[in-house]
Structure formats: structure tokens, C-alpha cells
């Protein structure tokens, strides 16, 4: 008995994410974790000036974990925090030039870490599945609680 197509797709994506994350974690520069890269990548994709709470919600982690991650990124000079004018207690997170550079370096490292083991999966293959995966991600994102 085979699994339903949607479950099979989600299962494959989950396994790919796990395997790729492990390769990336081993390849990243000393002190930069995948959790750090996720935040840097989110800020590049979605834009600067996001609240810590909003970033935590977007990447599906608890606020204390995000606070810890942001503090580490700030200590490395990869992000800067500014007071949130709409919330006196809140902070907005901005990428620094070093943060943008670290994200670009991590993207290159990720590509280099996975490309040699990608087998016969071509760039055309990857480009052909990206639209479907993006639609599925957007649908799941809209339905999130």
C-alpha cells in the first residue's frame, strides 16, 4: 500500500530538509548555526525591521529561543536591534551589512554542501518543482494558526 501523494510529498520534503540541514550545519563557519541562517534568510526574504515575535512566529520557534538566537546574531554584528515605535517593550531586527554577507556566504556553502550529492537532479528538475513547492508553502503559511 502506498501513501497518499500529498503525504508522500511532505514526507520526502521533511527527509530532504533533515539531510540537507545536517550537511549545512557541518559546513557552516564556526559559530554560525542553521538556526542563525534561518533568521538571516528570513530577513533577506521578507525584509528588515521585523519584530522578534513576528520572526519567531514565522520560523515556528518559541520567543525565548528566538531571543537567544537574535542575541547571538547581534553579538556577532550580523543584526542590530532598534526600539519598536509601536511597542515600547518590543525590538525590531535589522540585518547589518555583515549579516547580509554572512547570509550570502551561507547560501554558497549550502549550495556547495548539497550539490555534489544531488545525484542526477538537474537545475531544470529543481526549477520545475519550485513553483509547486512555493504554492504549497504559501497555502500552508496562510492556514497557520
Average pLDDT of 84-94?
Answer: 89
The pLDDT value recorded for residue 54 is 92
Q: Which percentage of the chain shows pLDDT scores above 90?
A: 71
Grid cell 508522500 — which residue? Answer: 8
The pLDDT value recorded for residue 145 is 64
Identify the architecture of domain 5-120 in CATH. Answer: Orthogonal Bundle (1.10)
Domains in the chain: boundaries: 5-120
Q: Is the pLDDT of residue 41 over 90?
A: yes
The pLDDT value recorded for residue 47 is 92
Q: Give the angle 114-117-119 at the CA atoms, nearest 5°.
A: 120
Interhelix angle for 97-114 vs 5-27, to 10°?
110
Residue-averaged pLDDT of the chain: 92
Average pLDDT of 43-52?
Answer: 93
Q: To which H or E segment does residue 74 belong?
A: helix 63-75
Write the pLDDT tens digit of every residue in 60-71: 999 999 999 999
Phi and psi dihedrals of 52, rounded to 5? -60, -40
Amino acid at each position: 500500500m502506498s501513501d497518499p501523494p500529498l503525504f508522500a510529498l511532505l514526507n520526502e520534503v521533511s527527509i530532504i530538509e533533515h539531510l540537507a540541514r545536517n550537511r549545512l550545519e557541518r559546513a557552516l563557519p564556526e559559530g554560525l548555526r542553521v538556526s542563525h541562517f534561518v533568521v538571516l534568510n528570513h530577513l533577506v526574504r521578507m525584509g528588515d525591521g521585523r519584530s522578534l515575535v513576528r520572526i519567531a512566529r514565522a520560523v515556528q520557534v518559541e520567543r525565548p529561543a528566538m531571543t537567544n538566537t537574535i542575541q547571538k546574531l547581534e553579538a556577532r554584528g550580523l543584526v542590530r536591534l532598534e526600539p519598536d515605535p509601536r511597542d515600547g517593550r518590543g525590538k525590531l531586527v535589522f540585518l547589518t551589512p555583515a549579516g547580509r554577507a554572512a547570509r550570502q556566504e551561507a547560501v554558497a556553502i549550502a549550495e556547495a554542501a548539497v550539490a555534489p550529492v544531488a545525484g542526477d537532479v538537474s537545475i531544470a528538475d529543481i526549477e520545475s518543482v519550485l513553483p509547486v513547492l512555493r504554492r504549497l508553502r504559501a497555502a500552508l503559511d496562510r492556514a497557520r494558526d
